[in-house]
Amino acid sequence: MEIKVDKVLPNPEQPRTVFDLGALRELAASMAAHGLIQAITVDEAVGGVYILHDGERRLRAAKLLGWETIRADVVESINGAGPRERLERALVANIQREDMNPIEEARAFRQMMNVHGMTYEQIAQRLGKSNHAGYQFVTIRMKWLELEPEIQDLVAKGKLPVSKRVAEALLDVPDPDLRVRLAQKFAKHGMKINSIALACKRAAEKLQDGGEVDADSFALRYAREKADRPQGAPMKWDALQQVGQVPPWKTVTDTARETCEACALRDIASRVTCSECAIVEFLRLLLVGVR
C-alpha cells in the first residue's frame, strides 16, 4: 500500500547511526530512474502514523526526492513488545545488508542485553547464525565497547582489523592514552593482527618494567617487522646495505657480514630493525674517514 512519507516516524530502536549522504543521493537517483524496488516495512501506530521497521535509507532517499507517498508493507502491530521486536528487525535487516559498522552492531547488541535481557546466544539466534559462529560474532563486537571512543571510531571507519585478538591486545596495555596513540599508529600504518598483538605485548612489558613507550619507538617498529615477515624468510638486509656502501677492505667487509649473520635479529633484519645497530654506525664513521 501507499502511505504518506510525512506519516512515517523513524524507528526509535534503529541501531544504525551513520548514513552517508553521497550514498543516499545515489540511491535517490536510482529510485528516481527506476522507482522503489523494495517497499519499506512499517508498523501501524495510533493516530494514523506508522513506525518504520526496515527501509530507513529508502525513506530518506524518498524525502530527498520530495515524494509525498511511498510504498510500504504494514506488519502486525506489536504494541507492548514493540521496542524489542523493532530493534531485532532493524538489526537483522542492517546486518544482512552489511549496512552497519561493527561499533553500531556492538551498541545494538548491548541494548538488546541491557534493555531486553537477551543473552549472546539469543542474539546470535536472532541473527540466524549457528551457536558457535554467532556467539563469536557477538563477542568480538562487544569487546570493542571496552575501549576508548577514539579507538571505536577507528574500527567504525574500517581502519583497524575487527578482531577480538586486536581488541584484547589493546586492552592489555594499561595506559588508556597510550592505547589510543598506539591504535592511531596501527591504523596509520595499516598494521595486521599479528603485528598489533605483538606490538601491544612489547609495549605492555616495557610499561611493566617501568619504562616509557613511544607509540613509534624502536621496540614497536621491531615488533611490526617481526610479525609481518613470513616465518623462515631469508635475511635480505645487513649492515652493509644499511650503510649503502661497501668498505674497500676485505677483512672489514667479511667481518661485518659475519657479525650480521650471527646477530640475534638476523631473521627480521631490515632498514627499520638495523637503524640503531652499533656496527652500522661504526661503518659509517669508517667510511667518512677514508673519503
Report yes or no: 132 and 143 within 8 Å, Cβ to Cβ. Answer: no
Q: Is the pLDDT of residue 146 over 80?
A: yes
For residue 203, what is its C-alpha cell? 609495549
Q: What share of the chain is helix, strand, coil (3-state, %, to 5)?
A: 60, 10, 35
Report yes or no: 236 and 260 within 8 Å, Cβ to Cβ. Answer: no
- pLDDT value at residue 289: 61
Q: Is the pLDDT of residue 150 over 90?
A: yes
Q: How far is CA 176 from CA 179, 218, 224, 291, in A?
A: 5, 21, 21, 50
Average pLDDT, the chain: 78
User: 170: pLDDT confidence band, cut at 50, 70 and 90?
Assistant: very high
Q: Specify which of 73-77, 186-190, 208-212, 224-228 reaches the highest per-range mean pLDDT.
A: 186-190
Return all residues near 128 (Cβ < 8 A) that are at least 6 apart.
92
Q: Using CA of residue 76, residue 82, residue 88, residue 92, what is the dihedral sign?
A: positive
- pLDDT value at residue 220: 67
For residue 252, what is its C-alpha cell? 672489514
Q: Phi, psi at residue 75, to the nearest 5°?
A: -90, 165
Distance, in Å, from the CA atom of 153 to the CA atom of 175, rounded to the nearest integer, reads: 18
Residue 235 DSSP code:
P
Report yes or no: 253 and 246 within 8 Å, Cβ to Cβ. Answer: yes
Distance, in Å, from the CA atom of 12 to the CA atom of 9, rounded to the nearest integer, reads: 8
Q: Cα 115 to chain center, whole Å?
A: 26
Q: Using CA of residue 245, residue 249, residue 250, residue 252, what is the dihedral sign?
A: negative
Torsion (CA) 158, 161, 165, 169 in degrees, nearest 10? -80
Residue range 212-270, pLDDT digits in tens: 887 777 656 766 666 666 655 555 667 777 777 766 778 788 888 888 888 877 777 88
**For range 9-38, the mean pLDDT:** 74
Residue range 94-124, pLDDT digits in tens: 554 556 788 888 888 887 787 778 788 888 7
Q: Is the pLDDT of residue 3 over 90?
A: no
Q: Cα 190 to chain center, whole Å?
A: 11
Report yes or no: 147 and 171 within 8 Å, Cβ to Cβ. Answer: yes
Domain spans of the chain? Answer: 2-81, 164-228, 239-290
23, β-bridge pairs: none
Return all residues near 119 (Cβ < 8 A) that are at least 6 apart.
113
> Which CATH architecture does the domain made up of 2-81 adopt?
Alpha-Beta Complex (3.90)
- pLDDT value at residue 81: 41
Report yes or no: 230 and 267 within 8 Å, Cβ to Cβ. Answer: no
User: 287: pLDDT confidence band, cut at 50, 70 and 90?
Assistant: confident
